[in-house]
Chains A and B, each alone.
Chain A
Amino acid sequence: MNEQTELTCRELVELVTEYVEGAMPPEELRRFEQHLAMCEGCRAYLDQARQTIRLVGQLHEAILPLATRQTLLQTFRSWKNSTSTE
């Protein structure tokens, strides 16, 4: 990509992950932020991308079924018995 040319919106949306991950080289970062400063649409897109990450994060729920918990604790107890009798 020519560093002189402006990023288009179509190009910017493909760089959003690199941007939010903080993985962008300085020159690319400069062009990215330059475009953002003048483009309301891309600012809104970035906002959607950030909200998406937050909403995916809301799915966190790892409930361990009681039966599985019992099985695993049983594994633990037999392991413990076998090591203490060695």
Chain B
Amino acid sequence: MATLTEAEAEAQLPTRPGATPDELAIVAALRNGDEGAFASLIEHYHSAMVRLASMYVASGAVAEEVAQEAWLGVLEGIGRFEGRSSIKTWIFTILVNRARTRARREDRSQPFAALEQSLHETDEPAVEPSRFLDTPGRWQGYWVSYPTAWSTLPEERLLAQETRRLVAQAIASLPPAQQEVITLRDIEGWTAEEVCVLLTISEANQRVLLHRARAKVRRVLEPYLSEV
């Protein structure tokens, strides 16, 4: 099993979204051996890379190793980076390729491999079915009692340490693929398109994963934020 070279990794990517002028400046700086440019990249991306790698490999220590290897791949490939994708997508593609190779060597299943199938086999509702009227008639499928809006709550309550703890706990309990998508989208701020390219999943599956993940976090928060 061959590992993709960094040039091949770049060739796999679609041409959008391309590197921005800012990014091309970072690439140029890296090629010139500017340590500050490298330091800023690792500060931005390293933790997210380790987290992503840990979905593929057995331990946090191996994930750290894979991420460090990926950085070496980035440095070795930077001379050939053509800016056809964003540098972030390129770096993370190198990471994912390394993590997949490592996972195959460890004979581990890939988190997104059986996704198409498993997604449509399990049908988890966003809201407990008991929240909706089930008696046939005009109001079947309507709320038994209304949820309450949260944007009217005091900001201290919404941003309280306890809320954060619940959110973090809810995310940690999600299946790996959902965890990855909600983290990239809502914590790291990636676009849907970037996530699809990186994880090689379809737009529709990306949305289903995101939907389930967000719905679960909301469900965990509801009893807490609806207390008067």
Binding site for B on A (CB under 8 A): 8-11, 13-14, 16-18, 21, 23, 39-45, 47-53, 55-60, 62-64, 68-69, 71-73, 75-77, 79-80, 83-84
Contact status of A64 and B43, CB under 8 A, knowing A56-B171, A56-B214? yes
**Chain A residue nearest to B204 in the complex (CB):** A23
B39: chain A residues at CB < 8 Å are: 69, 73
Assuming A57-B189, A59-B187, what are 6 further A-B pairs, CB within 8 angstroms? A13-B126, A14-B125, A41-B143, A41-B146, A72-B46, A72-B68
* Chain B 110-125 near chain A by CB (<8 Å), digits 1 or 0: 0000000000000001
Query: Is B127 an interface residue, CB under 8 A from the partner?
Result: yes
Interface size class of B (residues with CB under 8 A): 35 or more
Min CB distance A46 to B, Å, is 9
Q: What CA separation (Å) do A83 and B76 show in the bound complex?
A: 9
| Docked CA distance A84–B163 (Å) | 51
For the complex formed, measure the closest distance between the CB of B72 and the CB atoms of chain A, giving whole angstroms: 6
A57 touches B187 (CB 8 A): yes
Q: Name the A residues within 8 Å of B46 (CB-CB).
A: 62, 64, 68, 72
Q: Is the interface of B mostly helix, strand, loop or mixed?
A: helix
A68/B64 in contact, CB under 8 A: yes
Question: Does B11 sit at the interface, judged by CB under 8 A?
Answer: no
Provide the bound-state CA to CA distance between A56 and B214, in Å: 9
Q: Establish whether residues B150 and A9, one from each chain, have CB atoms under 8 Å apart when the complex forms.
A: no
Number of contacts between A and B (CB, 8 Å)?
143
Determine whether the beta carbon of A58 is less than 8 Å from that of B164. yes
* Contact code string B35-72 (vs A, CB < 8 Å = 1, else 0): 10011001110111000000000000000100010011
Nearest CB in chain B: distance from A4 CB, A: 16
A9 touches B48 (CB 8 A): no
A55 touches B221 (CB 8 A): yes
Q: Is B159 located at the chain interface by the 8 A CB criterion? A: yes
| Contact A17 to B44, CB < 8 A, known contacts A51-B158, A73-B39 | no
Contacts from B to A (Cβ < 8 Å): 33, 35, 38-39, 42-44, 46-48, 64, 68, 71-72, 75-76, 125-127, 129, 132, 140-143, 145-151, 158-159, 163-164, 167-168, 171, 182, 186-189, 192, 203, 207, 210-211, 214-215, 217-218, 221-222, 225
Cβ–Cβ contact B132 & A8, under 8 A: yes
* Residue in A closest to B217 when the chains form the complex, CB atoms: A52
Q: How far is the CA of A3 from the CA of B226 in the complex (A)?
A: 34
In the bound complex, CA of A40 to CA of B37 (Å)? 51
List residues of chain B with CB within 8 A of the CB of A51: 150-151, 158
